[in-house]
């Protein structure tokens, strides 16, 4: 039931984006194809990282355990999730884990 509802919401968002792009493009008849493609690329650049960093980890318990309940680092955008490979923290990530003095 929840999966069906999620699919329904996804399809409605897809319809909303399609209609919005069509309404924007209709105002620029000489550059319709270029504008439509630029808007599509822009949507992918905004939506895909948000999905990969925020939605996907919360929907998969294996990924949640892999990242120990924290948000994935930005390298998760281009690196495939590999539970076998040990994730080693960089110096910056280790420094960020230390508690701040006097706080």
Are 19 and 36 in contact by the 8 Å Cβ rule? The answer is: no
Domain total of the chain? 1
- Tell me, yes or no, whether 7 lies in a domain: yes
- Tell me, yes or no, whether 103 lies in a domain: no
Domain of residue 70 covers: 2-97
**How would you write the pLDDT of the chain (103 residues) with one tens digit per residue?**
878 888 888 888 888 988 988 898 898 889 889 999 999 899 889 888 888 888 877 777 777 777 776 777 777 777 766 654 545 555 556 556 666 555 5
**Nearest in space to 93 (alpha carbons), one of 62, 56, 68:** 68
Three-state SS at 81: coil
- Tell me, yes or no, whether 10 lies in a domain: yes
Pairwise CA distance, residues 7 & 9, whole Å: 5
- Tell me, yes or no, whether 88 lies in a domain: yes
3-state class percentages of the chain: helix first, strand second, coil last, to nearest 5: 70, 0, 30
């Amino acid at each position: 039931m929840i999966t069906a509802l999620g699919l329904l919401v996804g399809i409605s968002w897809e319809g909303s984006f399609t209609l919005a792009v069509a309404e924007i493009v209709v105002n620029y008849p000489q550059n319709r194809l270029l504008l439509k493609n630029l808007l599509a690329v822009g949507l992918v650049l905004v939506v895909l990282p948000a999905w990969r960093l925020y939605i996907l980890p919360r929907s998969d318990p294996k990924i949640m355990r892999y990242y120990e309940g924290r948000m994935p680092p930005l390298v998760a955008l281009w690196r495939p999730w590999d539970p076998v490979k040990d994730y080693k923290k960089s110096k910056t990530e280790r420094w960020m884990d230390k508690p701040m003095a006097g706080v």
